[in-house]
Amino acid sequence: MSEASSSEGGWSSSTGQALLKELLTRLLPQWPDGPRDWQLESTGYILDGHDQLLVAGCGEGKTAATYLHLLVLQELSRNPELPRHGKKIPPKPVTLLVSPLNDVSLCQVEELKRIGLSAISLDADEVAAAVSNGDALFKAVAECRYSVVIVSPERLTSPGFDRVIRNEVFRANLVLYAIDEVHVVVPWSLEFRKCYGDICRAKARIPSTTAMLAMTATAQSGLSESSLLRILGYRVGTFKTIRRPCERTNLQQVFLTLSHGLGGHEFRDIAWVVPARRKTVIYCDTIEFCHRVALYLRQLLPKDAPRTENIKEYHSLITPEQNRRTLFQFSHSPNTFIIIATIKFSLGVDVRNVQFCINLGLPKTIEQDVQQKGRAGRDRSIDAVGITYVEKNIVQHFRK
């Protein structure tokens, strides 16, 4: 654990942690080893009302931190004789989760449903369908019919959702405000998604008793993390930190110098990925760049190969349904072995059989480089490689 648990009252105490382990082990029979110690610690902090920064590597189980406390609260409601450790039990406890990508949100909804929690992702398609069907979707959310409500930063600050946040029933039951992939808050709020700057201002509209959870796999100690904490409104001594070791013994990380520039239509440095036929993800910084790389690699395939099946693109111009189909084929079919993707793929996509992750060009930040290559080898039995190809002019600049 990151900090010693208190021996006194509360869910973070030794007795509270022991009870959490007992309850969650029983409530999650599909977890044969039970919850991890750090997940118990995180759940204890949430139940005790503490704000929290959670740094844990890809595949460690961060998403569970957004819902384990709900299972506990629901069990306490069903069994009044269980100890409360000073926690008031709301009748319909809710987690509000801000997630950057619709595809990831839909995967999270499915995960939550599998463990018996009602969840909804308020993406554009869901809202549009509700409007066309005459469903009072926001009313259902405000009445806490869903245990987990997942929204984008844009939806969070919309007038419709503002009415949800102001609803007294919703406020009385909101126990956690969580932000996933929080490392993108700083750069994205300064660049193409200005609404990310509103994520933390939204905290001012949420009851002060609601705990806040910021989750990431790549936050670095130092200046970048200080900027993040400042935007989150976290001050020293007012929040808890759980920092898991993020080293991956099955992931080799490599930096190579590009022999050619990236502005053309040939990318010979990565031509090897086609005959290798390994499960490979190649990151490009724009959708247009993805198109060029996909066209180049497809022409290297045999003439009779199913080119658009062997090599697929994954980005925001492709429908969520098509992107989900791509992930399924990549995970289950040997015929789909290369995905050309934007940063979208690196944020919460749970594909466990990636053998090579390639950054074609140096990412803007260390966090982005680590996050993107971290998709490789999520199945710890796979020996994986993360490669960053760096432009010559950048290498020469650092050598001066």
**Measured distance CA(384)–CA(143) in Å, rounded:** 46
pLDDT at position 202: 77
| Domain pair 14-243 / 251-399, same fold | yes
Q: Specify the CATH number of the domain 14-243.
A: 3.40.50.300
Strand order in 311-314's β-sheet? 251-257, 384-390, 356-360, 280-283, 338-341, 311-314
341, 342, 343, 346 alpha-carbon torsion, rounded to 10°: -10
**Measured distance CA(351)–CA(329) in Å, rounded:** 11
Residue pointed to by tokens 């809710």: 94
- Single pTM value for the model: 0.75
pLDDT at position 5: 40
Domain extents in the chain: 14-243, 251-399
Contact present, 250 and 309 (Cβ < 8 Å): no
Residue pointed to by tokens 């929204």: 151
Pick from 360, 371, 308: nearest CA to 337: 308
pLDDT in tens, 268-297: 999 999 999 999 999 999 999 999 999 999
**Measured distance CA(114)–CA(108) in Å, rounded:** 10
**Measured distance CA(343)–CA(340) in Å, rounded:** 10
**Measured distance CA(251)–CA(247) in Å, rounded:** 8
**Measured distance CA(360)–CA(290) in Å, rounded:** 10
Bridge partners of 360?
389
**Measured distance CA(340)–CA(317) in Å, rounded:** 13
Give the domain 251-399 fold: Rossmann fold (3.40.50)
* DSSP codes joined into one string, 56-78: --TTS-GGGGGTHHHHHHHHHHH
pLDDT at position 343: 84
**Measured distance CA(293)–CA(338) in Å, rounded:** 11
Contact present, 182 and 228 (Cβ < 8 Å): yes
pLDDT at position 359: 96
Pick from 27, 131, 62, 141: nearest CA to 94: 141
pLDDT in tens, 23-56: 999 999 999 999 999 999 999 999 999 999 998 8
pLDDT at position 314: 94
pLDDT at position 185: 65
Taking 70 as the pLDDT cut, the residues of the chain under it are 1-8, 103, 131-135, 185-198, 200, 219-224, 246, 348, 397-400
Structure tokens at 121: 């992702």
